[in-house]
Amino acid sequence: MQRICAERDVTYELVDVDSDEALRAEYTDHVPVLVVDGAIRSYWFVDEDELASLL
């Protein structure tokens, strides 16, 4: 994630779902979760090629 975003000069925010009760309830064991432009794009893993195409 860090490398792909850096290559495209894109900022991202890393959020600890377990530190927020509402997020923990929303995502349960579906972490990591990838959200791009407000839409959930994947759960459980981040595929580099897919992330690159989304950005």
- pLDDT given at position 21: 92
Q: pTM of this prediction?
A: 0.71
- pLDDT given at position 22: 93
Instruction: Specify which residues 39 forms β-bridges with.
Output: 36
Task: Spell out the domain ranges in the chain.
Answer: 2-54
Report phi then psi at 17, rounded to 5: -60, -35
Convert the pLDDT of each residue in 4-49 to its tens digit.
999 999 998 888 888 889 988 988 888 888 888 888 888 888 888 8
- pLDDT given at position 31: 85
3-state secondary structure (DSSP) of residue 28: coil
CATH architecture of the domain with residue range 2-54: 3-Layer(aba) Sandwich (3.40)
